[in-house]
Amino acid sequence: MVTQTKPISAVRTTGIYCRDGCSATPLRRNTMHYPSGVAAEAAGYRPCLRCRPDRLPAAISGNGVALVERALLLIAEGALDDETEDALAGQLGVTARHLRRIFEDHVGATPAFVARSRRAHFARRLLDESDLPVLDIAYAAGFASVRQMNRVMQSVFRFSPRELRAKRRDADRLVADGGLCLRMPYASPFSFDDMLAYLRPRAIPGVEHVGDRAYHRTISAHGDPGAIEISDAGDGRHLLVVAHLPTMQSLIDDVARCRRVFGLDRHPAGGTPLADDSMLRGLVAARPGLRVPGAWDPFEVSIRILLGQQISVPAATTLAGRLVQSLGTPVRGLGALSLTHLIPPATRIAEASLDRLRKIGLPEARAESIRAFARAYAADRLRFDAAVELPAILDALQELPGVGPWTAHMIALRAAGQPDAFPAGDLGLRRAAARLTGRDTVSAAELEELSEAWRPHRSLAAMHLWAS
């Protein structure tokens, strides 16, 4: 569920919930404990204004219940912004009644309540950290109107948006030199440097740029170009997001994509059996904050992986840059961030001629494979959201020309965010496993057998092996 990093205490007599360590000292007999802030809110409590438990980072965890975790990932990406609980349940292959029941059992709130809480807390962060007008905040947080936001904020916080803004502290407000600046909380430990080290050589030239201390990328905001910058706040608790956007509408979903790129909604290995595994525990101890990187756009990362088949990472990056130059949409005014283009959409790559793709340096078979992938993606024959389970994703991908097990697992790992994807045939993984086991070589079949002990966290295990 959407769990906080520490337990939540709620006080019956005041109707307030607090984080551990709050200076308030209620009588024990008046105190209830909840696994998360959203569970306390569903029970009728509001967050404490002193310790601000609503600022604790949310992480996706369903107490081991895969259906709940998949549903929460979909909600975190906006699945209930425009759809109903019935539609969400249909995506997951269950009835809405069953989904609500299992949420009540394991989350302490219905899916609709979780989605409403998500919007309310995002709006609260904008009220604290920005000077955006209340109307803009309502649309940025996914509300249909200011009236709807007022009603929800009163329900969750017992104050109106304007009253909440009046209560913000001087240290809450962030000011950026151009753009809107927001804090993005995470559960420690998290290694920003390790994440940048992974993303830097794989950044698509023109679309992404990874500097020494920040990640930059172009985005499309309701059809118009914009840019996002992500850096480390330096406090061990937040990343900083600076958004340069033509509109703040649906900003909540853009921030969700930022979280997905940096793997912030997944726990590090310290909270998994990997930390006690005889083969991996040394790697986990060396890099406790390592996370699995995700994707801003599943199609973009998938194309980058397809370009990288059987060639080096730098060579694949060069090809990705040529593809963007040839088929991407140029954008102006972002040269200072080393950004020049939007990624080409699936339809444009699907319709590109083989001759045009060959001119960027692709062999004909690879060019046809990329076109086939783009056609399938554009036609919605490929789905990478959390409603689709790993075997179905792998099967759908391997039906396409030029997509084998390695490619399918790599796309599932990064583009689809599947926690148990594991490209056992990867040479880097096999070399790392050979060093750790003291063998001369480890075959793909042998590594597949070794990885059985790491389920259902094999994607994170792969990251630790690569980092070693």
pLDDT band at 442 (very low <50, low <70, confident <90, very high): very high
* pLDDT per residue as tens digits for the range 4-33: 444 788 999 999 999 887 888 888 888 988
- Could you give the CA distance from residue 74 to residue 112 in angstroms, rounded to a whole number? 12
Rounded to the nearest integer, the mean pLDDT of the chain is: 92
Strand, helix or coil for residue 182: strand
- Could you give the CA distance from residue 384 to residue 415 in angstroms, rounded to a whole number? 7
- Could you give the CA distance from residue 289 to residue 90 in angstroms, rounded to a whole number? 35
Q: What is the pLDDT of residue 61?
A: 56
Name the catalytic one among 18, 48, 51, 258.
18
Q: How many CB atoms lie within 10 A of CB 455?
A: 12
Judge whether 426 counts as a catalytic residue. yes
Mean pLDDT of 406-416: 97
Judge whether 51 counts as a catalytic residue. no
* pLDDT per residue as tens digits for the range 413-431: 999 999 999 999 999 999 9
Over pLDDT 70: what percentage of the chain?
97
Q: What is the pLDDT of residue 345?
A: 96
pLDDT band at 177 (very low <50, low <70, confident <90, very high): low
Task: Answer yes or no: is pLDDT of 126 > 70.
Answer: yes
Burial-class residue 170 by CB neighbours within 10 Å (0-12, 13-18, 19+).
exposed
Name the catalytic one among 54, 265, 277, 426.
426
Q: What CA dihedral angle connects 250, 136, 168 and 232, to 10 degrees?
A: 40
Length of the chain measured in residues: 468
Q: Which residue has the higher pLDDT, 250 or 233?
A: 233
C-alpha separations of 351 from 329, 372, 378, 398, 448 in Å: 15, 10, 11, 21, 38
Task: Answer yes or no: is pLDDT of 1 > 90.
Answer: no
pLDDT band at 170 (very low <50, low <70, confident <90, very high): confident
